[in-house]
């Protein structure tokens, strides 16, 4: 039996049920660099999931219809794949980078990067290149 994921993207929302459903959401800010990375991933996953949700609603298409179209990229099929997509679209499971790229292509929304200052609740000096010697 598989364990729960190490991080749950909708856990970074003040109201986790809004993940992928509401445009105007409130995020819990990060307190360290690792949490900032996870928050950035969560925000991008939410924004792409929201775009997919709106498109599904507009086109009157189901998650299963869309998920099955991409089953060649995933060995799971049918109901299991649709359930996995539902869980990712609701932020219960983190989407893999490959998922986010696919969702970006599906929606026409480019992948994002977020400024560290927007993600943090405290001030942290970000890593810089070249590293100090």
For residue range 11-28, list pLDDT tens digits in order.
Answer: 999 999 999 999 999 999
3-state SS, residue 20: coil
Query: Within a 10 A sphere around the Cβ of 45, how many other Cβ atoms?
Result: 24
| 111: pLDDT strictly greater than 90 | yes
Q: How far is CA 99 from the centre of its chain?
A: 9
Tell me the pLDDT tens digit for each residue of 51-77: 999 988 998 888 777 776 666 555 555
Query: Within a 10 A sphere around the Cβ of 107, how many other Cβ atoms?
Result: 16
Summarize the confidence of residues 92-98 as an average pLDDT.
Answer: 93
Please give the residue that has the higher pLDDT: either 130 or 108. 108
């Amino acid at each position: 039996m598989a364990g729960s994921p190490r991080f749950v993207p909708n856990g970074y929302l003040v109201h986790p049920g809004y993940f992928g459903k509401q445009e105007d959401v409130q995020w819990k800010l990060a307190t360290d660099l690792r949490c900032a990375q996870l928050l950035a991933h969560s925000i991008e996953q939410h924004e792409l999931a929201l775009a997919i949700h709106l498109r599904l609603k507009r086109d009157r298409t189901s998650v299963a219809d869309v998920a099955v179209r991409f089953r060649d990229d995933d060995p799971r099929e049918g109901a299991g794949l649709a359930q996995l997509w539902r869980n990712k679209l609701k932020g219960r499971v983190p989407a893999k980078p490959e998922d986010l790229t696919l969702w970006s292509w599906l929606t026409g929304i480019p992948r994002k990067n977020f400024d560290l200052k927007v993600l943090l609740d405290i001030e942290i000096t970000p890593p810089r290149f070249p590293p100090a010697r």
